[in-house]
Structure 1
Amino acid sequence: MFAVILATAITSTVAAQDAKKFLGRWDMTVTPATGKPYPQWMELTENGGKIEGRVQPRGGAWHAIMGAHLASDKLILDVGEGRPSTPGSEISWELTSPAAGKLSGIEKHGDEAGPMLAGVKAPSLDRPMPKKWSKPRPIFDGKDLNGWEPIGNVENNRWVARNGELVNDNPEVPGQRTHGAANIMTTEKFQDFKLHIEVNCPEGGNSGIYLRGRYELQVGTEGGKLPSHEMGAIYSWYPPPEGSKPGLGKWTTFDVTLVGRHVTVLRDGKMYHNNVELPGPTGGALDSNEAEPGPFYLQGDHHGIIAYRNITISVPEK
């Protein structure tokens, strides 16, 4: 009896030690058999010997994993329900034991093998606040799209420079997503910065300001059901202050400071997010390379004639 208990304890200890290799935050890249690779993100923790975690899929909000277990040298994560219309299409990730801060694996839909997975340990990005910032300079001249380029379905680009404004000229019905319309991003990339940007989003409109192309500051509305999906939220991570009004249909100002993975957001001078930590990329990120600088990009593939103006940037000075 003692031998059986001892063997069980040793096996559990070994399993726990093996599981620890997978813990932490991981910047993931998913590579399908056809099409371009795309980013995802996950965080795994241990609670009372149980592996818990959350996953940020390609789009939408992050969600908790549904289960996890070790099988030989692999960690099997139950990450989603798959296609509701197809029984047995539950999504799982089979991940190999990490080495040198990297892991690999495969996504499965039921028993069917899917895209390849690759992950790197997410960087801490723990940097002090710069002591000095450059003078603000415009990154949109109000006259043309110089310094900006459409992305996504560029053949359906609706972004124009008009009357000093950067406008997504998209007269779609509020509440209906415009599939296939282009987003737009800066050709220049940034690391740490102070951003000033003004936006006029109509009632029912939906857009977003992506910082380094990875972290979305929500513009507009998704219907008001989830505060973390509404005007001024860091999408799905942090809602706007309780009691905040959407204030759509008129000009509003955001002042954003991003240093490392800590962000401060003021809206019309009111503190919305005070040096909060960005755990990882949000849905719609361009990539998961968090250690690298990235562009600003503005969503145009949803709906509403949304206008931006007076876009300026300051960067740290040595």
Structure 2
Amino acid sequence: MYLKRLGCVLLCGLVLSLQGCDTNTTVSSKSDMEWQWLFDGNSTDAWMQADGSVLKAPWEIVDGALVLTAAGGGDILTRDSFADFELELEWLISEGGNSGIFYRVHSEIRPVWLSGPEYQLLDDANYPAHPDPIQQSASVFDLFPPVQSVAKPAGQWNKTRIRIHNQQVEHWLNDVQVVRYTLGSDDWQQRVAASKFKDFELFGRLPEGHIVLQDHDDVVKFRNIRIRRLD
């Protein structure tokens, strides 16, 4: 009986091996198929300038990263728009640098912060204009501060995740959830009313929009940018 069972185990293992049916691999592959690359180190086809044209210098691919190498590139937008989503990427800011990731941005309203909330990217230690946590890395700029500071220093790569589902928004930084809020909630509305965004009727109200990487005149690098839609 033992030998019969052992034979069945070996036979099943052989079948799974031949079919590539390892359970963990199957789940991982299915999960990976849900993701859409916005930048894989080779192509910028998923992005456009504000006028819809292809990316131009000083936005450049350097060593597998999408880099704003100098001021003057302008903000860049995803060609696709997104409603509920999960976005992952890595970023590296220059010393004293400032940038941002905006979401649910209207394609024809400028500047982009008139419509889309910002996930702030900053050299917190060397950017004296923003000493308040409500304007530091991973904050919802000028609205929600991170619950703790986990940003790495200028010149080091940080990992960001932004998740929006059913109006619930999460900001993650280096695998730590640092902000959670609800679009349209009483708390949200009170904070907006007390901010510079109070007079912009579309701010944070669009059900979907573009992802934007900001040109704030400072060198910033992005890599491994991917997104998946959440239904």
Aligned partner of 1:262 among 168, 171, 191: 168
Shift of the 289–166 alpha-carbon distance from structure 1 to 2, 3 Å rule, reads: same
The aligned runs of 1:154-303 (5 Å cut-off) are 158-170=58-70, 181-213=73-105, 214-221=116-123, 222-223=127-128, 224-245=130-151, 247-274=153-180, 276-278=181-183, 279=188, 288=203, 290-300=205-215, 302-303=216-217
Secondary structure (helix, strand or coil) at the match of 2:134 reads helix
1:139 is displaced (CA, Å) by: 1.4
Distance 1:272 1:205 in 2: 21
| Distance (Å, rounded) in 2 between the aligned partners of 1:141 and 1:242 | 30
Q: In the alignment, which of 201, 218, 226 is matched to residue 304 of structure 1?
A: 218
Comparing both structures, which one devotes a greater share of its residues to helix? 2
The answer to which structure has the higher strand fraction is: 1
Q: 1:283/1:296 Cα in 2 relative to 1: closer, same or farther (>3 Å)?
A: farther
CA distance change for structure 1 residues 233 and 215 in 2, over 3 Å: closer, same or farther?
A: same
Q: Is the 8 A contact 1:150 1:157 kept in 2?
A: no
Deviations for 1:40-87, whole angstroms, at most 9, x for unmatched residues? xxxxxxxxxxxxxxxxxxxxxxxxxxxxxxxxxxxxxxxxxxxxxxxx
**Cα distance change on mapping 1:140 and 1:133 into 2, 3 Å:** closer
- Tell me how far apart the structure 2 counterparts of residues 267 and 140 of structure 1 sit (CA, whole Å): 19
Change in CA separation of 1:142 and 1:283 when aligned onto 2, cut-off 3 Å: farther
- 1:85-104 mapped onto 2 (5 Å cutoff): none
Q: CA deviation at 1:239?
A: 1.0
TM-score (norm: length of structure 1)? 0.48
- Name stretches of at least 5 consecutive residues in structure 1 with no aligned partner: 1-131, 171-177
Separation in 1, partners of 2:158, 2:42: 21
Q: Match of 1:228, SS?
A: helix
Question: Higher RCO, 1 or 2 (CA under 8 Å, sep at least 6)?
Answer: 2
Q: Is the 8 A contact 2:151 2:158 kept in 1?
A: no
- Whether the 8 Å contact between 2:65 and 2:222 is mirrored in structure 1 is yes
For 2:86, what is the secondary structure of its paired residue? strand
Tell me the distance in 1 between the aligned counterparts of 2:226 and 2:159.
12
CA-to-aligned-CA distance 1:136-155 (integer Å, 9 cap, x gap):
22112322321211227x89
Q: Any gaps of 5 or more consecutive residues in structure 2?
A: 1-30, 106-115
The code of the aligned residue for 2:224 comes to: N
Residues 201, 249 of structure 1: 8 Å contact kept: yes
Question: CA–CA distance in 1 between the matches of 2:140 and 2:118?
Answer: 6
Alpha-carbon distance, 1:156 to partner: 8.1
Partner Cα distance (2:40, 2:196) in 1: 29
| SS of 2:210 mapped into structure 1 | coil
Q: Is the 8 A contact 1:220 1:246 kept in 2?
A: no
